[in-house]
Structure 1
Amino acid sequence: MQTNQILALFCGTLLVLGLIAFFLGRAKAAKVRASGTAMYAQPDQYAWFSVLSTAGPAIAVGAVGAFVMLLLGAEIPTLYLLAASLVVGCAGLVMGINLVRPDFHARKAIERVIRFFLAGAALISIFTTFGILLSIVGEALRFFQMQNFWDFITGTTWNPGASFLEAAGRAEEGASAAQFGSVPLFAGTFMITLIAMLVAIPVGLLSAIYMAEYAPRRVRTLAKPVLEVLAGIPTVVYGFFAAITVAPIIVDVSGVFGLDASFNNALAPGIVMGIMIIPFISSLSDDVINSVPDSMRQGSLALGMTQGETIRDVVVPAALPGIISASLLAVSRALGETMIVVMAAGMRPNLTANPLEDMTTVTVRIVAALAGDQEFASAETLSAFALGLVLFIVTLSLNLVSVIMIRRFREKYRINNL
């Protein structure tokens, strides 16, 4: 019997057991209740508890067995594992039916199970973060055994092209010729991200203020969905727009002012990336501004302030923590963008402060390193994990700074309104 057939048989059997547990539990609870005995829960609640006591242990045993097989490499026959799960499910069914009695709080038991699942869902993101970090750190340490950490952090030249000599048996020559200075990559990343935020934050915030404070209901109903459509456009389409439309315009405008601009420049992807992340700031800021109590606006207007002064001195400060969170989300989105940079800015690591020249970002080099023809143990491939680790630390630092800023603004605003 094939594995998919065994899984289908397991799911069908478990469904039948669940139905049996439900009807038996409800029938027993209804019988006890009909006898005049006071019970702590309704018959349906006892029935659902019987289902949980049947399916929960069976699924847990199957999940643990799959975890042991996949991650620890243990060999457990699928048929035996699922059979053991069904045996545990039958035992849970018997236990659930036996617990259908007047002094058992089935409702509280179900609430505890729900609380457990909700806590598990909340922990998934935490465990995922640690899993990502562990998967990066191991390979990054292998890279730093080949290359000096300080040179990687402070080096101004990224030239891993000679690392291919390692595969040809000339590892020492390749290691001496290769240079892994990450400063040009992070400089390009921050340059393009800064340009994007200079476009996205003013436009997104001002559009959110207009839709929340000035726009009629009909205009808001139409404008907000249209603006949010920008978030659903594929990034490769934005890349075409940046490379074919925006970059030539920048070259022509720069020529008018006597400036020399490359068709692969950092300004084009920065502008287009800013347009792409406008909905992140606009939509979230709009929701935050609308959540400010209307009584604060009315009180400000009653004191003689104009609507513009009310927005500037009351509404925006009250919504500032949410606006900072929206801006941080946009920064994270910009830091991780790849396709627009590849298509409009090129892939050459170039340390320059001129946004009219070509440059690249960390994520582009990560893709280039992992998608190349180098062996996995080579320095060029492992450099992708080192870049990812540093980018992770940078993003984490931005998150911590934003949390501190949000708390300070909240405390300041709370103190001023006591």
Structure 2
Amino acid sequence: MNTLILVLVILALATLAYVVGTRRSTGLVDNKPKDLHSLPGYYGLYVAMWCGVPALALLALWTAFEPTIVKQLVLASLPPQAFLDSAGAPLSDQRISLMMTDIANTASGNITSGSNVAYIDEAAAYQKSLVDTGYWLMALVAVALGAGLASFAYLRITPSLRARNSVETGVKYFMIACSTVAILTTIGIIMSLLFESFRFFTKVPLTDFLFGLSWSPQTAMRADQVGSSGSFGAVPLFVGTGLIAAIALAVAVPIGLLSAIYMSEYAAPKFRAFAKPALEILAGIPTVVYGFFAALTVAPAIRGFGDVIGLDVSSESALAAGVVMGIMIIPFVSSLSDDVITAVPQAMREGSYGLGATKSETIRKVVFPAALPGIVGGILLAASRAIGETMIVVMAAGLAANLTANPFAAVTTVTVQIVTLLVGDQEFDSPKTLAAFALGLVLFFITLLLNVVALHVVRKYREQYD
């Protein structure tokens, strides 16, 4: 039995508890639900919650703490010579970690490092027995706990039991827990970025990073090697990111906004029912497919057109990446804009028509201003999507950190460099690797700034049309 099967067993037990609890509530009042304090379904949910929630909580706790407990027990079972090397010196933490990995791989039947030591096999057998015994014991306790608490809740059911209040209180606490997890996750992301970025800025000055014009983070492993100190001026990355995002928005915003206006104000219902889902298919295409399209079709076409008119166009250009990225984010602008335009009250349109305005004047002077907050939100969402795109830029714009505003030249973006910096065998505390966190922190503040601008626009225009 694996964890998934155990979860399904607990859910099945909770479903059975729901059915039994519902039937008991109606049976106590001779099938007259009006004599109950709550609807019969609430009594079933009451018993199901008592059955499923504690059992699933126990399973979650065991899944979280079981590896640590097993590791400590296995370490305690090892003989003293296991912690000494061939010279009799104590093993380092890395060597101990490697030994535990060998034990785990041996227990699971995977490939090991080749250490044919007797105590490794003994520890592996002990670990396997601990895991198997602990799992079955936990499964038995979880099922018994669910069944026992379900019986307890079943016996508590009376016509006057405030089952609805209890269920809604439980749901409220669950939503509070979900909100807390989301908040703590956000705080954890911010703190990890700040901590690692602070480590980077202790090695590279902040001014050099934000205002430096050369990006070459290739640092050597040893100080006596060539290129032992890289250049971490991120301005070329910011310019490249802004250039590609601007091209993408120049493509997506007019096409997406005009298509949204047409579908919401001019198109027949049959055409709208077909065109909107067809347009939203663009959002479901994997970015790697867009990357292939940009590298194999768009980029050669732009280069060929440039050769015809006498322009020097790189094989990997910002224009190719920006155009394809703009096509990709059209649904973000179009779909959201269409929804907010459709949500504008019809009374505002009719009032405009009653004053003698034409359809186009109504759209420009009434509908569009009323829908502007939502439209701005869609555009900023598309901008965030463009800023965070990686695959298209890698395949169509390249990795060269060129400081240029020429859309026909090869450039790179912040996200591409983050991926590049975290790939390879560079040590994790080197400036090259830590630079990825500094770039991520910059992207975070850019996104935060976009959200602040969006809130400002929404508040400014919402006062006029609420």
Tell me which residue corresponds to 2:96. none
Q: Is the 8 A contact 1:68 1:74 kept in 2?
A: no
Q: Is the 8 A contact 2:291 2:396 kept in 1?
A: yes
Measured in 2, the distance between the counterparts of 1:294 and 1:355 equals 43
Q: How does 1:76-115 map to 2 (within 5 A)?
A: 77-115=134-172
Tell me which residue corresponds to 1:357. 409
Tell me which residue corresponds to 1:263. 315
Tell me which residue corresponds to 1:29. 25
In the alignment, structure 1 residue 152 sits paired with structure 2 residue 209: yes
Q: How does 1:50-65 map to 2 (within 5 A)?
A: 50-65=47-62
3-state DSSP class of the match of 2:29?
helix
Among 281, 284, 291, which residue is 2:336 paired with?
284
- Letter matched to residue 92 of structure 1: L
- Could you say if the C-alpha distance between residues 108 and 272 of structure 1 is closer, same or farther in structure 2, counting changes exceeding 3 Å? same
Cα displacement (A) at 1:58: 1.6
Cα deviation, 1:178-226, whole Å, max 9, x if unaligned, reads: 1111111111001110111111111100010011111122222222222
Cα displacement (A) at 1:137: 3.2
Among 377, 399, 403, which residue is 2:451 paired with?
399
3-state DSSP class of the match of 2:58?
helix
Measured in 2, the distance between the counterparts of 1:179 and 1:63 equals 46
Percent of residue pairs identical:
47
Larger deviation, residues 35-44 vs 279-288? 35-44
In the alignment, structure 1 residue 340 sits paired with structure 2 residue 337: no
In the alignment, structure 1 residue 136 sits paired with structure 2 residue 193: yes
Tell me which residue corresponds to 1:49. 46
Larger deviation, residues 90-99 vs 276-285? 90-99
Q: Is the 8 A contact 1:336 1:363 kept in 2?
A: yes
Larger deviation, residues 388-397 vs 203-212? 388-397
Tell me which residue corresponds to 1:211. 263
RMSD: 2.8
Among 230, 236, 239, which residue is 1:187 paired with?
239
Cα deviation, 1:254-295, whole Å, max 9, x if unaligned, reads: 445544322222111111111111111111111111111111
Measured in 2, the distance between the counterparts of 1:250 and 1:18 equals 61
Q: Is the 8 A contact 2:6 2:139 kept in 1?
A: no
Q: Is the 8 A contact 1:224 1:283 kept in 2?
A: yes
Measured in 2, the distance between the counterparts of 1:300 and 1:368 equals 55
- Letter matched to residue 390 of structure 2: T
Measured in 1, the distance between the counterparts of 2:17 and 2:5 equals 20
3-state DSSP class of the match of 1:337?
coil
TM-score, normalized by length of structure 1? Answer: 0.87
Measured in 2, the distance between the counterparts of 1:359 and 1:388 equals 18
Stretches of structure 1 that go unaligned for 5 or more consecutive residues are none
- Letter matched to residue 62 of structure 1: L
Cα deviation, 1:38-60, whole Å, max 9, x if unaligned, reads: 43124443222111111112212
Cα displacement (A) at 1:70: 6.4
Q: Is the 8 A contact 2:240 2:413 kept in 1?
A: yes
Measured in 2, the distance between the counterparts of 1:10 and 1:304 equals 65
Larger deviation, residues 220-229 vs 36-45? 36-45
Tell me which residue corresponds to 1:18. 14
- Letter matched to residue 179 of structure 1: S
Stretches of structure 2 that go unaligned for 5 or more consecutive residues are 74-130
- Could you say if the C-alpha distance between residues 298 and 124 of structure 1 is closer, same or farther in structure 2, counting changes exceeding 3 Å? farther
Cα deviation, 1:6-49, whole Å, max 9, x if unaligned, reads: 7635743x356435634553454334313999431244432221
Cα displacement (A) at 1:136: 3.1
Larger deviation, residues 62-71 vs 336-345? 62-71
Among 372, 378, 395, which residue is 1:326 paired with?
378
- Could you say if the C-alpha distance between residues 21 and 240 of structure 1 is closer, same or farther in structure 2, counting changes exceeding 3 Å? closer
Cα displacement (A) at 1:141: 2.9
